Amino acid sequence: MTKMSRCPVCGSPVKPENLSRHLKKVHPEEDAESRISKAQGRRAKARGGVRRREGVVFAGIAIAIVVVIVLAIAYQGPADSMVGEEAPSFSIVDVRTRIPYTVPTSFHGELVFLEFFSPSCGACIDFIPIMAQLYQNFHLEDVNFISIDVRAGDTDAILLDFLNQHPEAQWTHAVDTSNMASAYNVGGTPKLFIIDLIEEPVNGIVKYDHVGTDTYSNIASILNDLLGK
C-alpha cells in the first residue's frame, strides 16, 4: 500500500511525489515551498502549544498531589495524648527481684516514670543512658522507674539476657503480660509516661506522655516541677 502524505494546506491525502504538483494546481496563489514552510510552522506552533498545555496540566497535578499530602499530614495532628487522664492500673513482677508491683497502689504519694520499650528498638537502646542518669538522680526522691518490654514473644529469660548486656539499667523491668501497651495506646517505642500519685494518690494522673526519646533536661525539669522543686 502506497504511503500517502497530507497536503499542508487543505489536508488532502496526496502521494509524496505528487505533493508539489498538487500545491501548484490546487493552491496556486502561493509557491509550494512557502505553503509547506507556513504549514510546518503552524504544526510546530500547535505542537508547542500542546506541550505547554500538557506541562501546565502535569505541573498542576503535581502541585495538587503535594497539597493533598501536606493537608493529610496536617489533618492527622498530634497523636492522642493521655495527659490529664487517669492512669490505667496494672500489675507487674520485676524480672530481677521477683517483687510484684501494682500501679497505683504500690506507689501512693510518689511519681512513676513509665517506659514501654522493645529490646530490638534502637531508639530504646539509645535512651538507656539518659534513663540511667534520671534513675541515678531521682530514684531516691520518690520517683519510681519502670520499663515494660512490649515485644511479642519475649519472656523473662529473654529480658534478663538483654539486661545483662546493659548493666547500667538498674531500675525495675518487666515483660508486658497483660496487654498494658494497649491500655496506654502504645503505637511505637519508646513510649514514655509520668504518672502523678502525689497530687492524685488514689488513681494517679498522667502528667507526661511522649513518643520517642526525650532529653534529660526536659524530663528532669518536669520531674522537679511535680516534686515541687
List pLDDT tens digits, range 170-225: 999 999 999 999 999 999 999 999 999 998 878 899 999 999 999 999 999 999 99
List pLDDT tens digits, range 39-63: 565 565 556 655 555 555 555 565 6
The reported pTM is: 0.66
List pLDDT tens digits, range 82-92: 999 999 999 99
Residue 7 has pLDDT above 90, yes or no: no
State which amino acid sits at residue 132. A
Q: Superfamily assignment of 90-226 in CATH?
A: Glutaredoxin (3.40.30.10)
* Nearest-angstrom CA–CA distance, 115 and 135: 12
* Nearest-angstrom CA–CA distance, 144 and 171: 8
* Predicted pLDDT at 25: 66
Closest by Cα among 119, 102, 91 to 177: 91
Beta bridge partners of 112: 144, 195
* Nearest-angstrom CA–CA distance, 80 and 216: 23
Enumerate the domain spans of the chain.
Answer: 5-76, 90-226
Neighbours of 140 (CB within 10 A): 8
